[in-house]
């Protein structure tokens, strides 16, 4: 897959460090001088084993955590200096959908539209548009407790898009989905890319995204160990999974 034209990044992470105090009092470095960028109209895959620092990185970008050092910017807004600017420009999708069982998709999207400060008229038109565009129509008025994991994740994606953010971060969004739900969700993400959204996607399911991302960033122990397009990482033969293992073992340099 070719790279999109060079443009200033919609998501920019520079020299990011995050340290936690462990339960035994020791300092744990979850993210270690990590840098990456995502341009508009691009999907970047953030790959790493459990505990590699993917979720921490995504949550710093989303202003949910403060970095120990370094910067995360979304559409030019710094996550520390202007968290509100970041929040207005970013949607977040996580593996746990957090969609309440009692609410319907329409009710949930309406609530979150209001939470985002949209007027009633804006909420109505935006919710209608999302339900139509993300193909939620058949279950938009059913309580989420009666829906499948895939349907709940699509509602979660709709919630992330309710304020029309130009950038999205997705933390293992296909984890709980079967192959059909997963493909459907990833097709939607590709559609969003075509519409100019910047997407940073973390996942363990490499085969699913191998041919869908413009670029990949592989991290291990909080550090970038490899980055590039699929062809740069994989070469003419081979697959992404082999490249991932080589990178984590130190075979590819960033």
Residue with tokens 């935006």: 126
Number of residues counted as binding another protein (CB under 8 A): 49
Both tokens assigned to 187: 């097709």
Residue closer to another protein by CB (options 105, 240) is 105
Both tokens assigned to 249: 């073992």
Q: Determine if 40 is a binding residue for another protein (CB under 8 A).
A: yes
State the minimum distance, in angstroms, from the CB of residue 237 to another protein: 34
Residues 6+ apart with CB under 8 A from 105: 131, 136, 139, 140, 141, 142, 144, 155, 158
| Site map (CB under 8 A) of another protein, residues 1-20, x = contact | ------xxxx---------x
Q: Determine if 143 is a binding residue for another protein (CB under 8 A).
A: no
Among 16, 34, 48, 59, binds another protein (CB under 8 A): 59
- Using CB under 8 A, which of the segments 80-88, 183-191, 218-226, 236-244 binds another protein? 80-88
Quickly count: other Cβ atoms within 10 Å of residue 137's Cβ: 11
Which run of H or of E encompasses 75? Answer: none
* DSSP letters spanning 188-241: HHHHHHHTT-EEEEEES-HHHHTTT-SEEEEEETTEEEEEE-HHHHH-SSS-HH
Q: Determine if 145 is a binding residue for another protein (CB under 8 A).
A: no
Torsion on CA atoms 136, 63, 58, 191, rounded to nearest 10: 30
- Using CB under 8 A, which of the segments 129-137, 155-163, 175-183, 225-233 binds another protein? 155-163
Residue closer to another protein by CB (options 47, 95) is 95
State the minimum distance, in angstroms, from the CB of residue 242 to another protein: 28
Which stretches of the chain bind another protein, using CB under 8 A? Answer: 7-10, 20, 39-41, 55-56, 59, 62-66, 75-77, 84-85, 87-90, 92, 94, 96-98, 100, 102-103, 110-112, 114-117, 119, 156, 159-160, 163, 166-167, 196, 198
């Amino acid at each position: 897959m070719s790279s999109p034209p060079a443009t200033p990044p919609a998501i920019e992470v520079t020299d990011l460090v995050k340290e936690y105090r462990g339960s035994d009092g020791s300092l744990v470095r979850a993210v270690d001088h990590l840098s990456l960028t995502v341009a508009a109209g691009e999907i970047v895959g953030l790959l790493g084993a459990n505990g590699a620092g993917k979720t921490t990185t995504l949550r710093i970008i989303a202003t949910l955590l403060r970095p120990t050092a370094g910067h995360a910017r979304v559409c030019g807004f710094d996550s520390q200096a202007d968290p509100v600017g970041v929040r207005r420009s970013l949607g977040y999708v996580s593996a746990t959908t957090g969609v309440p069982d009692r609410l319907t998709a329409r009710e949930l999207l309406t609530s979150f539209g209001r939470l985002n400060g949209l007027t009633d008229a804006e909420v109505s038109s935006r919710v209608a548009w999302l339900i139509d565009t993300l193909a939620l129509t058949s279950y938009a008025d059913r309580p989420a407790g009666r829906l499948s994991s895939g349907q709940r994740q699509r509602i979660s994606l709709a919630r992330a898009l309710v304020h029309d953010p130009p950038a999205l971060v997705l933390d293992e969004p296909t984890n709980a989905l079967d192959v059909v739900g997963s493909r459907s969700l990833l097709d939607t993400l590709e559609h969003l890319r075509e519409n100019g959204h910047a997407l940073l996607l973390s996942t363990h399911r490499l085969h699913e995204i191998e041919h869908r991302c413009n670029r990949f960033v592989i991290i291990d122990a909080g550090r970038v160990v490899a980055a590039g397009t699929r062809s740069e990482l994989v070469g003419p033969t081979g697959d992404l999974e082999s490249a991932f293992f080589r990178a984590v073992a130190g075979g590819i340099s960033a």
